[in-house]
Amino acid sequence: MALTHVQEYRDAALAKQWIAAIRELNIGSMRIMEVCGTHTMSIFRNGIPAVLPKAIELISGPGCPVCVTAQKDMDGFVSLARQKEVILTTFGDLMRVPGSGSTLQQEKASGWDVRIVYSVFDALSIASDNPQREVIFCAVGFETTIPTIAAAILMAEAQGLNNFSIHCAHKLTPPALNALLERPDVNVDAFLLPGHVSVITGMEGYREVFGRHPLPSVIAGFEPVDILRAIHMVLRQKEAATPLLENGYERAVSETGNPKARAIMWKVFDGTDAVWRGIGLIPHSGLVLKERYHRFDALKKLGIHLEDTPEPPGCACGEILMGLKRPDGCPLYGNRCTPMHPVGPCMVSSEGTCAAYYKYAVSNQ
């Protein structure tokens, strides 16, 4: 069943072949974590849990960049929005994520200048058009996004743009996998590894994690056939009792990924420990601007110090991001917390597990 063209990955007949192949393997129970919010959405949208044997459980991991952004950083974005002569620019997903007392959407409604952009380069253009004002970009995202943000910093430097800065809440994926697997309460048998992130990291980005924790691990694409095929690949590994790191997204991911993109990223940023929402501090899982680029650090530039702030009482986002709970295990799910009135980011983000579950799960389970 070699796959070559995008349409094939949505082909119902081909999907049925993979479902049949999965059902032929009788390997007992298995908990497979997808480590990407786009996978989560695709899995729910395509009703994949309903066609798998009951013993195969798909659980969501910390793969939604908005969902893993610490409350402290959300509060930081709100603080920055409230500064005089600031234009705060952000991707749309962050607008409705609750901070401790407000959201960016509420700040915008209150009159502060918060603008949705589709690319960090839009923020650079706004900075160029508004030289008297500080234009700040809310930098969230994983390896997929980070090189572009780094390129924007280099471009701002080259253009002499002195009124552009970022608040960096970027996260790195492999250290989070290590941290998850080192927790005694986390119960994961296999990983579907994130396709987009892997375009940048390559297979080699996971070798250290796999060496420490050799679980069946397959990099997966995002179409239903991609996901079914990747599930079949991890099941085959379990059947053979031979955990492997395999590439199921060959049309986009190579062994070495995109070294140029990583070089740009490491030119601008240094690694640091970072707090993940609900999970806590994970060593070497975040980024800070290198000293040479401190003038692009919004908090430093405006002299703002952030305090740790507690997460919303009762919100189980952290447990959901570690596969310890399903959304309907959160006492607030569907009553106090809905997409219209979200309590935590997992219900807001277009890649959030609670949002996906709310939108699709009832009809798919």
Residues lying near ligand SF4 in the complex (CB under 6 A): 315-317, 320, 327, 330, 332-333, 337, 343-344, 346-347, 354
Min separation Cβ 168 and ligand SF4, Å: 24
Min separation Cβ 191 and ligand SF4, Å: 22
Buried b (16+ CB within 10 A) or exposed e, 267-300: ebbeeeebbbbbbeebeebbbbbeeebeebbbbe
Beta carbon nearer to ligand SF4, 272 or 338: 338
Beta carbon nearer to ligand SF4, 180 or 315: 315
Beta carbon nearer to ligand SF4, 213 or 325: 325
Helix (H) or strand (E) holding 51: helix 48-51
Burial class (CB in 10 A: 0-12, 13-18, 19+), 25: middle
C-alpha 328/C-alpha 37 separation (Å) is 18
Helix (H) or strand (E) holding 85: none
C-alpha 235/C-alpha 52 separation (Å) is 12
Beta carbon nearer to ligand SF4, 202 or 344: 344
Min separation Cβ 270 and ligand SF4, Å: 32
Beta carbon nearer to ligand SF4, 122 or 319: 319
Min separation Cβ 274 and ligand SF4, Å: 20
If one counts every other C-beta atom within 10 angstroms of the C-beta of residue 331, the result is: 12
Min separation Cβ 162 and ligand SF4, Å: 39
Beta carbon nearer to ligand SF4, 216 or 352: 352
Min separation Cβ 141 and ligand SF4, Å: 19
Pairing of strands 217-219, 56-60: unpaired
Beta carbon nearer to ligand SF4, 193 or 316: 316
Min separation Cβ 164 and ligand SF4, Å: 32
User: Nearest to residue 296, comparing CAs of 81, 149, 170, 92?
Assistant: 149
If one counts every other C-beta atom within 10 angstroms of the C-beta of residue 100, the result is: 14
Beta carbon nearer to ligand SF4, 296 or 358: 358
Angle CA(146)–CA(151)–CA(154) in degrees, nearest 5? Answer: 130
Min separation Cβ 225 and ligand SF4, Å: 29
222 DSSP assignment: S
DSSP string over 149-165: HHHHHHHHHHHT-TTEE
Q: Which residue is nearest to ligand SF4 (CB)?
A: 344
The beta strands (E) that lie in 196-244 are given as 217-219
Distances (CA, A) of 172 to 62, 220, 269, 287, 307: 11, 18, 12, 8, 23
